[in-house]
Amino acid sequence: MNPGDNKEFIRKIRLALGYRSQGGRTFSGVFPDGRAEESVELIRRIKNRGPDERQWLLARLIEEAKALNMMVVPVKDAQSAAKQIAKVAQEKETEWGGPKRVIAWEHPLIERMKLNRELQKKGIPLDFTIPGPAGMGTDMVRERVIASYIGVTSAEFCVASSATLVMKTRPGQPRSVSLVPTIHMAVIEQDQIIADLRELYALLKWDPYHKEEGLTNCMTFITGPSKTGDIELILIHGAHGPKELYLYVITG
């Protein structure tokens, strides 16, 4: 296809709208970034949240998650999260046969957990999706993710009002870890819990770090374990994605 066809396509839309040209309209002129100042103010408030408010958000998250059959487990530190994960790993069986295997993101928080030590005690091997030439390439990530019954990730944020985890895809943090294994476990710190989508979009757009990085080429929101109602509207978990979703919140 040549670029001329694209122009023709847009021209047809313009004509349909009654314009001969852009007509002085620009993207930022028609759709001004209205929320800039209030977003910056909102982010400041989010970052200065007091302990009471943070506790309330955690409670809200737990309540919302319950209705979705998503397990939210507050733990006091990273090592406790690892202990909890290892305990569940021991209890659960693999879905597709084969030996138990866990795969985890390369992520500072997960590193702090010393998950390897806890899983070793149970005799369950753990792979980290380490990027780079010395780490895991695409083929290996694919192979290991398929062979694993548990995938461990962190997240950028968790939205309390809908129990929504927000995750970006980066080197070391492939998206398939939260998707292909039967059980998905995420670990976050309590101050990553935010109130609602309004706060989320303010942070994604105006927080300097996220503004610089952008959404990445794949950002995913996860709200509960996979589900379907396609057979007589009966709710069943684990249609294609994970059957179970655990979220460990490190309260510190």
Footprint of other proteins on 66-95 (CB under 8 A)? none
Footprint of other proteins on 173-202 (CB under 8 A)? 174-176, 179-180, 196-198, 200-202
Of 45-53, 76-84, 185-193, 239-247, which part binds other proteins (CB under 8 A)? 239-247
Half-sphere exposure (CA, 13 Å, Cβ side) for 111? Answer: 7
What single DSSP character describes residue 247? E
| Interface with other proteins, residue 46, by CB under 8 A | no
Angle at which helices 36-47 and 197-206 cross, to 10°: 100
For residues 59 and 218, which CB has a smaller minimum distance to other proteins in the complex?
A: 218
Q: How many whole angstroms separate alpha carbon 215 and alpha carbon 219?
A: 6
Footprint of other proteins on 196-235 (CB under 8 A)? 196-198, 200-202, 204-205, 214-234
For residues 37 and 77, which CB has a smaller minimum distance to other proteins in the complex?
A: 37
Distances (CA, A) of 55 to 47, 211, 221: 14, 28, 23
In the list 86, 147, 241, 246, the residue contacting other proteins (rule: CB under 8 A) is 241
Footprint of other proteins on 111-150 (CB under 8 A)? 129, 131-132, 136-138, 141-142, 145-146
Q: How many whole angstroms separate alpha carbon 172 and alpha carbon 103?
A: 12
Q: How far is the CB of 87 from other proteins (least distance, A)?
A: 25
Q: How far is the CB of 121 from other proteins (least distance, A)?
A: 28
For residues 105 and 248, which CB has a smaller minimum distance to other proteins in the complex?
A: 105
Q: How far is the CB of 198 from other proteins (least distance, A)?
A: 6
193 CB neighbour count, 10 Å cutoff: 22
In the list 85, 103, 242, 246, the residue contacting other proteins (rule: CB under 8 A) is 242
Of 50-58, 85-93, 148-156, 161-169, which part binds other proteins (CB under 8 A)? 161-169
Q: How many whole angstroms separate alpha carbon 245 and alpha carbon 72?
A: 9
Q: How far is the CB of 54 from other proteins (least distance, A)?
A: 20
Which residues does 200 contact at the CB level (< 8 Å), separation at least 6?
A: 157, 159, 164, 166, 194
> Which of 215, 108, 94 lies closest to 149, judged by CA?
94
Size of the site for other proteins (CB under 8 A): 79
| Interface with other proteins, residue 64, by CB under 8 A | yes
| Interface with other proteins, residue 2, by CB under 8 A | no
- Opening angle at CA 147, ends 143 and 151, nearest 5: 100
Q: Which residues pair with 224 in a beta bridge?
A: none
